[in-house]
Structure 1
Amino acid sequence: MLKKFYKIIIIPYGLFLLYLMFLGMGRFQYEDNLITVEPVFSTIKFIQGTQEWKSIIMIVLGNVVMFIPFGFLGWIFPGLRKLKPLLFTFISAIVIVEALQYFTRMGIFEVDDIILNTFGVYTGWMLCRWIEKRIIY
């Protein structure tokens, strides 16, 4: 039942995330192509420079939590049940999405986003393994 629901919802969910990454949350087209390649330091600077905890939670934690569902892709694609192929596939895809944000100027290519999103997928993969051991099997 859970796997069937996941198979139905993951494509619309992925499309929703793409919408958020390019058009949602007040996005606008930047005048210049922007890139942030300082891993971790740019997130620390963002946290230090932000007055509202709501913004910090929404951006930093959101970049992790929103990608947890992709840790379950092994339910659809058996080749992605193992962590290494899942992370390789995901990192390849998210780098393409970040590059598209850069080239369309509808976002910033941020290494921290790749790291946080990947941590979300890893968290989802761990949760998937836990669910399979405890609930499904």
Structure 2
Amino acid sequence: MLKKIYTIIIVPYTLFLFYLMFLGMGRFQYEENLITVEPVFSTFKFIQGPTKTIDIVTIVLGNIMMFIPFGFMGWVIPGLKKLKPLIFGFISCIVIVEALQYFTRMGIFEVDDILLNTFGVYIGWLLRRFLDRKLNY
């Protein structure tokens, strides 16, 4: 039952994420193309800056939690049940999305986003494995 619900929901959920990543949450087109390539350090700088705690939690945890559902892709595409193909495929896709944000100037290409999003997929993969064992999938 969970697999069927997931299969129905994942496409609209993905479209919703695209909306958030390009148009939602007060997005606007930057004057120039922006890129942040300092892994982890840029997130620490962001956390230590004048940003409100709720914004930090929303952005950092959001970048992880919003991608947990993609760890369940093995339910839809059996080749993605193993971690290595799932992570490789996800990183390929998220790099393209980050590049689109860069080229359209509707966001910033951020290495930390890729790392946090991938961590979310990993958590989802662990949850899927747990559920598969518990529910005998």
Class of the TM-score when normalised by the shorter of the 2 chains: over 0.9
Gaps of at least 5 residues in structure 2 are none
The residue type equivalent to 2:52 in the other structure is E
Q: Which residue of 2 aligns with 1:10?
A: 10
The residue type equivalent to 1:108 in the other structure is I
Of 68-77 and 50-59, deviating more is 50-59
Q: List per-residue Cα deviations over 1:100-134 (Å, max 9, x = no partner).
A: 00000000000000000000000000000011111
CA-atom RMSD, angstroms? 0.8
Q: List per-residue Cα deviations over 1:25-84 (Å, max 9, x = no partner).
A: 000000000000000000000000044111011000000000000000000000100000
Assess if the C-alpha contact under 8 Å between 1:70 and 1:124 holds in 2. Answer: yes
Q: 3-state DSSP class of the match of 2:39?
A: coil
Q: 3-state DSSP class of the match of 1:109?
A: strand
Q: Which residue of 1 aligns with 2:24?
A: 24
Identity of aligned residues (%): 74
TM-score, with length taken from structure 1? 0.98
Gaps of at least 5 residues in structure 1 are none
Of 46-55 and 109-118, deviating more is 46-55
How much has 1:6 moved relative to structure 2? 0.1
Q: Partners in 1 of 2:5 and 2:27 — Cα distance?
A: 30
What is the correspondence of 1:106-121 to structure 2 with a 5 Å cutoff?
106-121=106-121
Q: Which residue of 2 aligns with 1:101?
A: 101
Assess if the C-alpha contact under 8 Å between 1:72 and 1:128 holds in 2. Answer: yes
Q: Partners in 2 of 1:67 and 1:73 — Cα distance?
A: 11
Rate the CA distance shift 1:51–1:100 in 2: closer, same or farther, 3 A.
closer
Q: Partners in 2 of 1:78 and 1:16 — Cα distance?
A: 24
Which ranges of 4 or more aligned residues in structure 1 deviate by more than 3 Å?
Answer: none
How much has 1:136 moved relative to structure 2? 4.1
Q: Which residue of 2 aligns with 1:40?
A: 40
